[in-house]
Structure 1
């Protein structure tokens, strides 16, 4: 006879996950992108290693290319050592936060009103805490998963992974020996949609693709001179015109496989017709609520100017002006994207990639996907996993270079009214306590059937 929800007895992992997430948030691991001002990763990584060692793990601590950029790895042997290992990976760094903007201190890890609050609560110390809780339970209780599990806690994701996953892949590939599949952020969270029969369905979005990431520097050079003169070769003017053309350009609509599967699933449940040929497909997406921002951003390439720099005195026309543009490129579109950029900025402005990371995409099939869906269905009868593309990027971009098949699956059952996407890098970032308990149960189930 099965147990009812009221008879459910929380596991060790469930009982400690909230405290672990709260404690992780209290480490200020703000990643400014500047080696001189980024701190906290070593202390956090050493604390994670201690939590693993106290239940019997042998851990490997590695600094990835610079002092203090701490990474921790631990491996749990599975029942079948001949199978490829499954890696769970989470990053320890977070984006900076301004305390005066928050209703609680961003590094307090406060547990209030049914939420754990703080920078990193959803990006991504929630999953790091769930990983740590499950890893500790499995080792402490001698639970043997069907295959080897590798737990990776890494640095520098928020600045592209130069001093994190990319360095590790290049310099320490031995840490990933035998790993064939991996699970990380940003996926597994729920989206509640109305069904055509009047009920509800909770989709759990599994990330199977992500856009390429590129930070591009644009440079214009002109003739320096006095600000009072007539001047027809002004670098600021040239750059501003190029930035305006690029920033206001709308790239063509492209529906790739992951997005098409997501839209088909939503249409099947809701009856909403997402016609790829419709000029107002973004308007139709708005019916999905807050998630429409993420999905809408996966329909096109984007190029958003984010930084400008020129001049040193009000009455001096500078010789050089620079801009930085945040570029997100759909799989298979890089050559066409660059051609379009060159046309828009014109011959008088040059471009160079400051950072350039490839897109990634895998198919939504196979035993691992089946295990994700089974775990969700076992703990949420209204749940269904669906693939989607992330408009941003994760460490999966680097791990894929080793031939590892990557997914985003950090399961969270969320209140329908919560604007979850807005919490990523947002003020008052927080994760529901109930969602952490749910996610831990799902992760335990998933790992034992993967």
Structure 2
């Protein structure tokens, strides 16, 4: 086990050995990354950004090529490998340096003391998202070191609060909205079966919009010994019955059709048949109903809204003056947030209820399945795993791609991480990633970047 002091010491890798030692360098970058406690409020993100900058400068990047911008207690990093044709829009790689909180008492190991054990690297953020950030930093350093001269400029952008407010993400998207496309290391990726064989690779080209609403019903209240017919808890219960029974209409786009078709071949059986029928005809009500009955598929078929938090009353011996429910929606790409709010208003059918949008959610449409991106990713992935099918994917969760897509920049989740589903502990206890895929991950990034930026 390496000590924290050893991890944070300067890298001692000779220039001559670096090209051959890329996987070792990438592993070292990942280990050192995990040692930075880049949780909200800790002020460690700027320090991690400075470390990444040192790796890139060691490979030959100049100070002017790397910009670290403080934003509150966090920061962003932008590193530029200039292309030969300034008329071409740049290719942008993105990832995030921050991680969700982790308590030492809950973990088997200290979440911020990286450990390599039994073929895995353990530590908070090892999967989300420091694995692919380490691969991107190391790959970009290698391109600089070998003198790669792309036609298109390549820019690495790392945000600092993707897990919380995404203020750094919004700032980066606004500044670089003129990019040709975005390659996101925090989306998509490969799945290894429990038998150790590659099962599929997901190319993320869209994500559902995250939005929260609060439904509230109020009343003058009174003494609990004199019940009234306007009790807001009872009225809210009726609203919840209507909400629970409602389903938004089925929808489809280029991305979900391609995803369903690919999934149908892999899954087979009744589910596979329903997926194939839905891909061919999204108006197939029977197929839509079947897929909507399965938790793993309903999010691919329609917008979903579900009650997640409930509150009501203020005293045991008083009639409630207020009852509220929080409703979390995952909105199909391209659907306006306000239209979902309007639909919820119709569904609850209670003029006395108020619906409030919580915070300021941002919506985006799916990105087109560009042939150049699909071809580049297919070539890179199949170099690692010959014949493995590339499956377009729409994510139910939010990533930094959201803000770039919202500004019209096509964005694609192209993570280089392959792992078993049973090893996935992102945001959970004892997060870990396999070590044996690092060399292949570096090859994948190298191949994709050279294909698209050439």
CA shift digits 1:163-199 (9 cap, x unpaired): 22123444xx2xx2752111114444224689xxxxx
Q: Equivalents in 2 of 1:92, 1:360: separation in Å?
A: 25
Matched, 1:370 2:375: yes
Q: Equivalents in 1 of 2:152, 2:310: separation in Å?
A: 50
| Equivalent position to 2:251, from 243, 251, 254 | 254
Count residues in correspondence. Answer: 417
Structure 1 residues 22-31 or 151-160, which shifts more?
22-31
Do 1:238 and 1:348's aligned partners in 2 also have CA atoms closer than 8 Å? no
| Equivalent position to 1:427, from 426, 429, 435 | 429
| Equivalent position to 2:332, from 321, 330, 333 | 330
| Equivalent position to 1:44, from 33, 43, 48 | 48
Task: Give the aligned partner of residue 4 of structure 1.
Answer: none
> Cα distance 1:360–1:38, how it changes in 2: closer, same or farther (>3 A)?
farther
- DSSP 3-state at the match of 1:394: coil
CA shift digits 1:76-131 (9 cap, x unpaired): 11344332211111112222234433333332322222112222222211111111
- DSSP 3-state at the match of 1:100: helix
Shift of 1:62: 1.5
Do 1:201 and 1:382's aligned partners in 2 also have CA atoms closer than 8 Å? no
Aligned Cα RMSD in Å? 3.0
Matched, 1:23 2:42: no
Shift of 1:410: 0.7
Matched, 1:306 2:313: no
CA shift digits 1:115-158 (9 cap, x unpaired): 12222222211111111111222223333334211001102212
Q: Equivalents in 1 of 2:38, 2:245: separation in Å?
A: 35
Q: Equivalents in 2 of 1:144, 1:99: separation in Å?
A: 45
- DSSP 3-state at the match of 2:251: coil
1:121-140 equivalent positions in 2, closer than 5 A: 121-140=126-145
Shift of 1:366: 2.5
1:24-423 equivalent positions in 2, closer than 5 A: 24-31=33-40, 37=41, 39-57=43-61, 58=63, 59-64=66-71, 67-161=72-166, 163-170=167-174, 173=175, 176=176, 178-191=178-191, 202-247=199-244, 249-268=246-265, 272-273=272-273, 274=275, 275-276=277-278, 277=284, 279=286, 295-334=297-336, 337-345=340-348, 346-354=350-358, 355-415=360-420, 418-419=421-422, 423=425
Task: Give the aligned partner of residue 3 of structure 1.
Answer: none
Shift of 1:208: 1.0
> Cα distance 1:253–1:143, how it changes in 2: closer, same or farther (>3 A)?
same
Q: Equivalents in 1 of 2:142, 2:329: separation in Å?
A: 41
CA shift digits 1:317-366 (9 cap, x unpaired): 44333332221110244465334311233322211222322133122222
| Equivalent position to 1:436, from 431, 435, 438 | 438
Q: Equivalents in 2 of 1:252, 1:38: separation in Å?
A: 44
TM-score (norm: length of structure 2)? 0.82
Do 2:133 and 2:185's aligned partners in 1 also have CA atoms closer than 8 Å? no
Q: Equivalents in 1 of 2:380, 2:309: separation in Å?
A: 44
CA shift digits 1:264-290 (9 cap, x unpaired): 12334565422323746787799xxxx
- DSSP 3-state at the match of 2:418: coil
- DSSP 3-state at the match of 1:139: helix
Do 1:89 and 1:182's aligned partners in 2 also have CA atoms closer than 8 Å? yes
Do 2:364 and 2:406's aligned partners in 1 also have CA atoms closer than 8 Å? no
Q: Equivalents in 1 of 2:304, 2:177: separation in Å?
A: 36
Shift of 1:311: 4.3
